């Protein structure tokens, strides 16, 4: 009886230990599953956040690339405007010199042909300048940007000459170019500050 009782106590202890081990295993397994699910959710949230950050960085990069592209297009347009102004000045000066001389016979006919060609070119240049003026105004649309306002104002001062068929003083063109350079420098500094 003592042996049986000891044997039942041993079995009872083994069953208790086995039951505790099974319960402990089940709790550990449930903990592992909960941990895996939570880890998966956290990884999913982290991945979503990383995707959002990557998209924002990509959008920001595209925005700055478009601003640089816009500045380059504006620079080309202003350069074309100044080049056309210089060419128009040259034709106006030639026309002024031709008009001061007197012509007879064949010379008069050559003068008329030359004057007609120049007149066509001046008309085309004037139309180009009007179009370029409009485009520059559209490109420089920021009302609160003092640099853009200075460029628009100087451009309008230059426009007052060619719209009346007058030569544009070199000093006006030089000031216009300097103001445009200041604006582009300011824009590049702003971009550099924003991207740093």
Supply the pLDDT for residue 150: 95
In a domain, 33, yes or no: no
Spatial neighbors of 182 by CB under 8 A, at least 6 apart, are 147, 150
pTM of this prediction exceeds 0.85: no
Could you tell me if residue 99 is inside a domain?
yes
- Indicate which CATH number applies to the domain containing 102: 1.20.58
pLDDT means per 10 residues, the chain with 196 residues, are 57 70 83 83 81 81 85 93 94 75 65 76 90 93 90 93 89 95 91 75
142 in a structural domain: yes
Range of the domain at 171: 59-195
Please report how the helices 146-162 and 2-100 are oriented relative to each other, as an axis angle in degrees rounded to 10.
Answer: 20
Q: Is residue 73 part of a domain?
A: yes
**How many domains does the chain divide into?**
1
62's tokens = 């595209």
Whether 24 is in a domain gets the answer no
Q: How far apart are CA 101 and CA 91, in angstroms?
A: 16
């Amino acid at each position: 009886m003592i042996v049986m009782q000891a044997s039942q106590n041993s079995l009872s202890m083994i069953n208790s230990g086995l039951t505790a081990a099974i319960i402990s295993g089940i709790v550990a397994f449930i903990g592992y599953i909960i941990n895996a699910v939570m880890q998966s959710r956290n990884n999913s949230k982290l991945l979503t956040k990383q995707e959002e950050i990557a998209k924002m960085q990509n959008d920001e990069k595209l925005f700055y690339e478009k601003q640089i592209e816009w500045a380059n297009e504006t620079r080309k347009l202003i350069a074309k405007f100044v080049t056309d102004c210089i060419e128009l000045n040259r034709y106006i000066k030639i026309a002024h010199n031709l008009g001061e001389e007197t012509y007879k016979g064949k010379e008069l006919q050559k003068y008329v042909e030359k004057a007609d060609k120049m007149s066509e070119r001046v008309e085309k240049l004037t139309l180009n300048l009007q179009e370029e003026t409009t485009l520059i105004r559209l490109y420089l649309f920021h009302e609160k940007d003092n640099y853009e306002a200075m460029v628009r104002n100087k451009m309008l001062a230059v426009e007052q000459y060619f719209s009346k068929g007058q030569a544009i003083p070199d000093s006006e063109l030089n000031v216009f170019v300097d103001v445009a350079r200041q604006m582009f420098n300011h824009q590049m500094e702003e971009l550099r500050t924003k991207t740093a």
